[in-house]
Structure 1
Amino acid sequence: MAISEPTAVFSIRNDKDQEIKQVMQLVYGALEEKGYNPVNQLVGYILSEDPTYITTYKNARSLIRRIDRDDLLQALVRDYVRNG
């Protein structure tokens, strides 16, 4: 009888959510440092997909544009439901 090892679970979703979280934290911080209300700016960006809501400071605009808006919304809703 062979000793079996537990199966490793590979999840692209978890990796993608982690990437989104990191980008959001960086963008939020850059907006805050520049004196903007990060929540208002991010909501404006999400609703309109207009990148001018996001500052170019610390490459924030470029970073957030790498994330698909649908993926971003899904991650935000998932996190909100899980963590209240």
Structure 2
Amino acid sequence: MSNTNEHTIQFDAIKTKQELTKGILSEVYTSLVEKGYNPIDQLVGYLISGDPTYITNYNGARSLVRKLERYEILEEVIKSYLNIEDIK
């Protein structure tokens, strides 16, 4: 029996990390909006202080954001802002 999909798939850990970070931040953002918070203010408060109570528990947003390290979030935000793919 022949395998019809014989191409090697390349795994890009950097791209996966970026996508994970973006996905989590998007979900947290949506949860904050749905609860009536200003999501930018809440996320900035969390990133500056490290206090997870800036993030609502609604839809598990607080647990989600805590899966990421704050410095990793900031790294991805700055790279996105400056349109930089990867800093080596």
Matches of 1:13 and 1:33 in 2, distance apart?
Answer: 30
1:1-84 superposed matches below 5 A: 9-82=10-83
Alpha-carbon deviations, 1:7-59, whole Å to 9, x = none?
A: 96532111001000000000000000000000000000000010000000000
- Calculate the aligned-residue CA RMSD, in Å: 1.5
TM-score (norm 1): 0.86
Runs of 4+ in 1 over 6 A off after TM superposition: none
Give 1:63 deviation, angstroms.
0.1
Give the residue type in structure 2 aligned to 1:62. Answer: S
> What is the TM-score normalised by the length of structure 2?
0.82
Q: Any gaps of 5 or more consecutive residues in structure 1?
A: 1-6
Counterparts of 1:71 and 1:12, CA distance in 2: 14
CA distance in 2, matches of 1:27, 1:8: 31
Percent identical residues: 44
